[in-house]
Structure 1
Amino acid sequence: AFEQGGLGQILVERLKLPKVKPNLTAWENLVQKIKKPAREVDIAICGKYVHLKDSYKSIIEAFTHAGVENDVKVNLHWIDSEDIESNGVADRFADVSGILICPGFGSRGIEGKIAAAKYARENKLPFLGICLGMQCAVIEFARNVCGLKNANSTEFNEDTPYPVIDLMETQIDVSQMGGTMRLGAYACDLTRGTLAFKAYGQETVYERHRHRYEVNNEYVQLLKKNGLKIAGMNPDTGLVEIVELADHPWFVGVQFHPELRSRALRAHPLFRDFLKAALQYQQEKQQKAERAEKALSTSKTLGIG
């Protein structure tokens, strides 16, 4: 609309810029796909700041970018993790095709996020956990698959018998919270044959971090033995950056913030592939419902049941 109104030409003249006709094809295609997507998909966003959606602005934008790349409109369903704690999971996720568990700090709403991760794992629902969301998935897996009752993060329970999430040893004596932060871009070496490697298509990536706690390497072998894949690690520290599930169509947890590297014309590969998996889940669910309806119709026609 701005270009059609002549704004570009006005700016060129006022700023005395070279008069070169811009190639806006990519941006025109972007706008077209946003306005007229081929399909729709429903995604649940589970967090504890959902009443102030701008808290997750970068995640919302990343879904827009990934939606364009998949030619799909993404309908976001906001789920308060504290509501899950109070009222249970019930049918909150019955109508969605994927769950994203948001980043955050502090113990409020944590058990609700853990319950959401369990639902995604048990129901084979596409899942993306970011930062704290990934840590909640690890805690859930440790408790309910590895049999580590009361496993937790020392952020929420310093006396947990199984601190599967903990401060790095080098951070324990740092008294200021900001001083214990792992901030900025860090390298991540990807494991071949994983969903992460398939998404990125390369062996090493750089992603942005903002967190204090990490997966405790003392429990990595036990987690792996029970089916948790370590899909990405920091080459310098050996810290876990990406986890996946061996027996799940698409379940990925990342310690970093992929949403911060997503761009309008270059969707982040994890968000892109998360939506692909959600679309596949949606299609299979619809096909299953159609088969069930057809079988019911046939049985009625034959007078069965």
Structure 2
Amino acid sequence: MYLLLLKGQSMHEILKIALIGDFDSQVLAHQAIPKALKLNTSQKVEYYWIHSSEVDLKGLSQFHGIWCVPKSPYDNMENVLSVIRFARENKKPFLGTCAGYQHAALEFARNALGYEQAGNAEVNLETPMPLISALVCRLNNEQKGIALKEGCKIRHLYEQSEITEEFNCGFGVNPKYLSLFAESDLLFSSVDHHGDPKSLELQSHPFFIGTAFQPERSALQNKQHPIIKAFLNACLG
């Protein structure tokens, strides 16, 4: 667990964010996230890196928001899914980027829609329902265009219908199973030019957004990002 507490701040002045995932100082997204947290709010931020094998669900209530971060497979996938379920059911502001996005879809399929057999092919190639599956072409630090669906939350945040974002992933939500979510609270809110999903949101949740791309990387160019800024605003209540 890693902690940043800015000097001279008392606890009541500080926004507390749980970063769920297996910290690796060599991962670019992990380098970017602390900068993104600082850059996208004027509020002082305290962040905790919580390893997937060290999750304590009872302790999550102390945080203002939860961010499931990139780098998969997680050492303990089931713990990560439990955290996502906690955020979903308790209306806790949630952001999932890259692997966090994939696992948000998986958690919803299993626990909200009842598809207990939904699985992650990165962890188990023999899963009978590979909701998370390998991409046809891995995206290595690549910029891709994305179309945002009309009426969705992230389109409102960007205030435009098309965006370009940076990806670094080899797995994603399997388009074969998108129809399972059609009548549910989970909306896949953007697609690439192939029609493959690149973000999701819960329509009845105050703030629950997942992105296949890594918006945190914008901080490496000292730029704010509308999704991260909105996440932190939601954490403020």
* TM-score of the alignment, normalized to the shorter chain, above 0.5: yes
User: 1:264 deviation in Å?
Assistant: 7.0
| 8 Å contact from structure 1 (residues 43, 75) kept in 2 | yes
Evaluate the alpha carbon distance shift between residue 96 and residue 107 of structure 1 in structure 2; reply closer, same or farther with a 3 A threshold. Answer: closer
User: 1:193 deviation in Å?
Assistant: 2.1
Structure 2 distance, partners of 1:183, 1:77, is 26
Q: Pick from 133, 139, 148: which aligns with 1:190?
A: 148
User: 1:192 deviation in Å?
Assistant: 2.5
Evaluate the alpha carbon distance shift between residue 134 and residue 35 of structure 1 in structure 2; reply closer, same or farther with a 3 A threshold. Answer: same
User: 1:226 deviation in Å?
Assistant: 2.0
User: 1:183 deviation in Å?
Assistant: 4.0
Evaluate the alpha carbon distance shift between residue 264 and residue 73 of structure 1 in structure 2; reply closer, same or farther with a 3 A threshold. Answer: farther
Q: How does 1:204-215 map to 2 (within 5 A)?
A: 204-215=162-173
- Cα displacement string for residues 238-284 of structure 1 (whole angstroms, at most 9, x for unaligned residues): 1111100122110000001111123676311111000011001xxxx
Aligned to 2:209: 252
Aligned to 2:43: 72
Q: Pick from 37, 53, 58: which aligns with 1:82?
A: 53
Aligned to 1:273: 230
Give 1 or 2: higher helix fraction: 1
- Cα displacement string for residues 80-126 of structure 1 (whole angstroms, at most 9, x for unaligned residues): 11112xxxx43121111100001012252222211111110010000
Aligned to 1:163: 130
Count of residue correspondences: 228
TM-score, normalised via structure 2 length: 0.88
Query: RMSD over aligned Cα, in angstroms?
Result: 2.2
| 8 Å contact from structure 2 (residues 120, 130) kept in 1 | yes
Q: Which runs of 5+ in 1 are unaligned?
A: 1-33, 172-179, 281-305
- Cα displacement string for residues 200-244 of structure 1 (whole angstroms, at most 9, x for unaligned residues): 11111100011111111111121232221111111x211111100
TM-score, normalised via structure 1 length: 0.70
Q: Pick from 225, 237, 246: which aligns with 2:183?
A: 225
Structure 2 distance, partners of 1:139, 1:189, is 23
User: 1:195 deviation in Å?
Assistant: 1.9
| 8 Å contact from structure 1 (residues 65, 263) kept in 2 | no
Q: Which amino acid aligns with 1:164?
A: L
Evaluate the alpha carbon distance shift between residue 108 and residue 90 of structure 1 in structure 2; reply closer, same or farther with a 3 A threshold. Answer: closer
Q: Pick from 20, 44, 48: which aligns with 1:46?
A: 20
| 8 Å contact from structure 1 (residues 195, 250) kept in 2 | no
